[in-house]
């Protein structure tokens, strides 16, 4: 039985388009601040359920995208920027912060097009032995075995140096053969020089070819992130 029966907390949101990820799946350079994010597609976000065990996961249906990051990295804020306030609020509701919160993105005909899985934030403490040492036991099986999981979005804070726990997660995803993309959050807090320096440090420290700088506050990079999500969703 799911933790609770699926309830609709849906609301309209728009996201920017059109899809413009590069051929190799890397991100395009975000547009400068202040450009209007022209909505071309409308989805409705529907909260499905909070899962506290593998039995509670929704039956695999459409492509799924997982969002991962340390607590306080800005995951709720970014989800808010992507799909709207209610989804982020659901994920921060006490009791649901240790669960995987599933959201369906419905098209205008109310058909699910994509599922978002908001995973619990992992702690500041080092993740030892397994990535899920500080996590509920069902997280690792989710990441390892979920058949419709097409992409993991790993959030790292652009204001802090590369963290061991992030490195471990990313290494684990590599080892598991999971497709992932790393976004550097709260980029608005940095000046131009700091931004370049910190993003480079993250790339180096986490051994990444590509990191997408984003800001939930200004919307910077959100359009490019959506392009990547859509590309993964249509694989």
For ligand GDP, the binding residues (CB under 6 A) are 69, 71-77, 121, 185-186, 188-189, 215-217
- Kindly tell me which of 79 and 114 has the beta carbon lying closer to ligand GDP: 79
Cα distances from 12 to residues 113, 165, 216, in angstroms, run 15, 35, 18
Between CA 18 and CA 230 the distance in angstroms is: 9
Q: Which of 58/69 has CB closer to ligand GDP?
A: 69
Q: What is the DSSP string of 140-183?
A: HHHHHH-TTEEEEEEEEETTS---HHHHHHHHHHHHHT--EEEE
Q: How far apart are CA 176 and CA 152, in angstroms?
A: 12
Q: How far is the CB of 132 from ligand GDP (least distance, A)?
A: 18
Q: In degrees, to the nearest 5, what angle opens at C-alpha 91 toward C-alphas 89 and 94? A: 90
Q: Which is nearer to ligand GDP, 189 or 195 (CB)?
A: 189
- Least distance to ligand GDP from the beta carbon of 48, Å? 19
What φ, ψ does residue 50 adopt, rounded to 5°? Answer: -105, 125
Least spacing, CB of residue 72 vs ligand GDP, in Å: 4
Nearest-approach distance from CB 26 to ligand GDP, in angstroms: 21
User: Minimum Å distance from CB 99 to ligand GDP?
Assistant: 14
Residue in the block written with tokens 């975000």: 30
DSSP tag of 131: T
CB nearer to ligand GDP: give 46 or 101.
101
In the complex with ligand GDP, the residue whose CB is nearer, 187 or 232, is 187
């Amino acid at each position: 039985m799911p933790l609770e029966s699926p309830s609709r907390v849906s609301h309209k949101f728009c996201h920017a388009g059109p899809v413009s990820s590069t051929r190799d799946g890397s991100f395009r350079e975000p547009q400068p601040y202040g450009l209007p994010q022209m909505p071309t597609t409308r989805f409705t976000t529907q909260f499905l359920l909070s899962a506290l065990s593998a039995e509670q996961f929704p039956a695999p249906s459409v492509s799924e995208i997982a969002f991962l990051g340390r607590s306080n990295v800005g995951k709720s804020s970014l989800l808010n920027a992507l799909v709207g306030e209610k989804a982020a609020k659901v994920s921060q509701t006490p009791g649901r912060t240790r669960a995987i919160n599933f959201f369906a993105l419905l098209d205008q005909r109310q058909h699910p097009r994509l599922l978002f899985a908001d995973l619990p934030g992992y702690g500041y403490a080092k993740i030892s032995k397994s990535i899920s040492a500080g996590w509920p036991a069902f997280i690792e099986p989710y990441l390892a075995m979920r058949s419709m999981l097409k992409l993991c979005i790993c959030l790292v804070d652009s204001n802090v140096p590369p963290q061991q726990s992030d490195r471990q997660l990313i290494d684990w995803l590599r080892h598991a053969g999971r497709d992932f993309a790393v976004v550097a959050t709260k980029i608005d807090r940095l000046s131009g020089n700091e931004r370049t320096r910190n993003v480079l440090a993250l790339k180096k420290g986490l051994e990444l070819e590509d990191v997408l700088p984003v800001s939930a506050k200004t919307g910077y990079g959100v359009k490019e992130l959506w392009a990547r999500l859509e590309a993964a969703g249509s694989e």
